[in-house]
Amino acid sequence: MGNAENEELPIKLVIMGMENAGKTTILDVLTQKINEPPNKPPSMTPTKGVERSTILFFQKETKVWDFGGQESYRNEYLANPEKYFHTISFFYYVVDIQDYYRLIQSVMYFHGVFNLIKKFSPEAKIIFLFHKMDPDYSPDERNLKEKFLEKVEPVLKLNNMLYTMFDTTIFDLNSIRIAFGLET
């Protein structure tokens, strides 16, 4: 396949993280199913398996893979990487910065997924979304963003992998749009 043909392929954007981190809500903002900040966090049905959709991203057709975060699904993705991790252009990993009790699980899951991204899509851009940075949230001694980065940065540096990170919240839709390059 020549370069001209490769440029025609759609972009593959993957969004992963633990269950209840806010992945589907973030996508609902991008697809304009949510147009205004809500008064309270929306209640969502958990994503089952991988939901695929198409959006315009940087004015290009983009295939979005929204990975359900429940443990049984996480195990499936890690056990069958050839099914999920090829040709990823953008890898968004969502961390719920208010879920102290699941931080270590999230770090471990990221490490497992990162090894597969490195193997099957080494050119993927890695973006962390530190989500639920809500107006009433005030980081304390349990600053989960800092603790998460302490656990993952050494592996990223060791592998010469760059990453970008954004603080996002459903209460400021532009914080999400900016993380996906849709607002400046």
Name the nearest CA neighbour of 67 among 15, 107, 128, 29. 15
Q: How far apart are CA 171 and CA 92, in angstroms?
A: 19
pLDDT tens digit sequence for 161-175: 999 999 999 999 999
Domain of residue 71 covers: 6-35+48-179
pTM here is 0.91
Q: Is residue 87 part of a domain?
A: yes
Classify residue 99: in a domain, yes or no: yes
Identify the pLDDT of residue 142: 62
Q: Evaluate whether residue 184 is within a structural domain.
A: no
CATH code, domain with 143: 3.40.50.300
The single-letter DSSP state of residue 172 is B
The whole-chain average pLDDT of the chain stands at 89
Q: How far apart are CA 148 and CA 177, in angstroms?
A: 23
Neighbours of 107 (CB within 10 A): 18
